[in-house]
């Protein structure tokens, strides 16, 4: 029972719900643990898509982490505002996004920004805009190792594209980017086997580049599921993201990673619609709803609830006939998928010593901050 009480908020009566709360001491623990996994902090390039917070970013900077990864211009700007030294926009900027990326680079000179590309047209487009603005933009070749959404397959064609980009004025080719988000097997041995299969052609491409006399490419790879495996691969920069807050989904799937869940969605029972049923104020707009109903949120202090329906503002659960729940009862919910859940909240309420302390603004949840 003692283990389950870490989340209790003594002054929870002051908290309107639904509310996102975070526990800074657990976030700091997770930052320490992610460093312990990899030993060399210079090989860490955490993804900020999970927390979207300058406060968490600053904790990472204080811990000696200097490289970051992000997916949106707003996330990149948030990192620039924090004076993060090295930021990869893990996206191919095109159209207005490329114009915004150029503005970002010029607005935050203390940060070195880079981006991805996977074709010669994008390379030339980035280079053209870079030269117009007297810039040399660092880029990484985006490789498709199984996600099948962006990237070029790491083969001879990728090698030729890499070489071609090395000679384009306006861009500076730094290395290779390989995201393996399709690999999330619970069995660590199976995960390792699939990872080795996916990364083998990446390493071969890197060797071919070196053997041809070009500088050794930086390799940025992986996400949270494969992080413990890639952490042991010398020279590879790793990009876990969920570790900052962790969640129910990863807690169940990846037992070898002992990160602490550090963000919850607090809700209340607001209605008792009929015998055995309760209604909670946590709808689609309060917790990520892409998973099946049973795998959206897990109530730490009400694990027996069986969900029967959810709409924009309501979650209906079967509590069993003769249940003990009353109007106003507080429920501490652990999301199955924390990343899109964070994007639903403009702020996270911080909890320290079991009391409401302050708030962290999730400013990078917006599509635009200033640029």
The pLDDT tens digits of the residues spanning 38-69 come to 989 999 999 999 999 999 999 999 999 999 99
Nearest residue to 244 via CA among 55, 42, 12: 55
Q: Which two tokens stand for residue 6?
A: 């870490």
DSSP letters, 81-96, are HTT-SEEEE-S---TH
pLDDT score for 39 = 85
* Torsion angle, alpha carbons of 133, 138, 144, 146, to 10: -120
Identify the residue whose tokens are 């897990």.
Answer: 298
Stretch 109-134: mean pLDDT, rounded?
Answer: 98
The dihedral built from the CA positions of residue 241, 245, 247 and 252, taken in this order, carries a sign that is positive
Which residues neighbour 79 within 8 Å (Cβ) at sequence distance 6 or greater?
48, 57, 68, 70, 87, 111
Residue 2 pLDDT > 60, yes or no? no
Identify the residue whose tokens are 């490289």.
Answer: 67
pLDDT score for 1 = 40
d(CA 250, CA 242): 8
Domain spans, the chain: 2-20+262-365, 24-244
DSSP tally for the chain: helices H, then strands E = 10, 16
Q: Do domains 2-20+262-365 and 24-244 have the same CATH topology?
A: no
Tens digits of per-residue pLDDT, 252-294?
999 999 999 999 999 999 999 999 999 999 999 999 999 999 9
d(CA 59, CA 51): 12
Tens digits of per-residue pLDDT, 326-345?
999 999 999 999 999 999 99
Tens digits of per-residue pLDDT, 219-254?
999 999 999 999 999 999 999 999 999 999 999 999
Alpha-helix residue ranges (DSSP H) falling in the chain: 24-38, 54-62, 73-81, 96-107, 120-132, 156-166, 188-211, 227-230, 248-253, 338-342
At 218, give phi and psi (nearest 5°): -75, 135
DSSP state of 6: T
How sure is the predictor about 183, in pLDDT bands with cuts at 50, 70 and 90?
Answer: very high
CATH of domain 2-20+262-365: 2.40.37.20
Could you please state the CATH topology (level 3) that the domain comprising 24-244 is classified under: TIM Barrel (3.20.20)
Identify the residue whose tokens are 């730490």.
Answer: 300
Cα–chain center distance at 95:
25
CA distances from 265 to 34, 104, 237 (A): 24, 33, 32
The dihedral built from the CA positions of residue 354, 325, 338 and 4, taken in this order, carries a sign that is positive
């Amino acid at each position: 029972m003692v283990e389950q009480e870490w989340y209790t908020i003594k002054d929870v009566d002051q908290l309107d719900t639904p509310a996102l709360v975070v526990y800074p001491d657990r976030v700091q623990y997770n930052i320490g643990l992610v460093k312990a996994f990899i030993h060399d902090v210079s090989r860490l390039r955490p993804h900020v898509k999970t927390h979207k917070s300058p406060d968490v970013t600053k904790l990472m900077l204080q811990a000696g982490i200097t490289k970051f990864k992000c997916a949106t211009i707003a996330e990149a700007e948030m990192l620039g505002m924090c004076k993060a030294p090295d930021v990869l926009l893990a996206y191919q900027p095109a159209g207005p996004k490329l114009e915004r990326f150029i503005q970002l680079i010029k607005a935050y000179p203390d940060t070195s920004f880079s981006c991805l590309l996977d074709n010669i047209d994008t390379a030339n487009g980035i280079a053209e805009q870079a030269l117009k603005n007297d810039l040399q933009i660092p880029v990484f070749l985006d490789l498709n190792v199984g996600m099948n959404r962006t990237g070029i397959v790491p083969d001879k064609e990728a090698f030729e594209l890499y070489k071609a980009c090395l000679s384009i004025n306006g861009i500076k080719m730094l290395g290779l980017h390989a995201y393996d988000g399709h690999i999330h097997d619970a069995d660590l041995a199976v995960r390792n086997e699939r990872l080795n299969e996916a990364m083998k052609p990446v390493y071969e491409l890197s060797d071919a580049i070196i053997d041809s006399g070009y500088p050794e490419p930086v390799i940025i790879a992986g996400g949270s599921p494969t992080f413990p495996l890639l952490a042991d691969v010398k020279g590879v920069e790793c990009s876990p993201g969920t570790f900052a807050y962790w969640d129910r989904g990863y807690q169940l799937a990846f037992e070898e990673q002992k990160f602490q869940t550090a963000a919850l969605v607090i809700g209340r029972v607001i209605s008792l619609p009929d015998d055995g049923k309760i209604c909670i104020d946590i709808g689609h707009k309060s917790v990520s709803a892409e998973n099946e109903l049973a795998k959206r949120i897990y109530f730490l202090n009400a694990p027996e609830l069986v969900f029967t329906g959810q709409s924009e503002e309501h979650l209906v659960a079967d509590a069993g006939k003769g249940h003990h729940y009353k109007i106003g009862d507080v429920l501490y919910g652990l999301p199955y998928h924390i990343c899109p859940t964070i994007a639903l909240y403009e702020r996270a309420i911080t909890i320290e010593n079991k009391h409401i302390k302050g708030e962290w603004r999730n400013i990078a949840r917006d599509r635009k901050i200033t640029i």
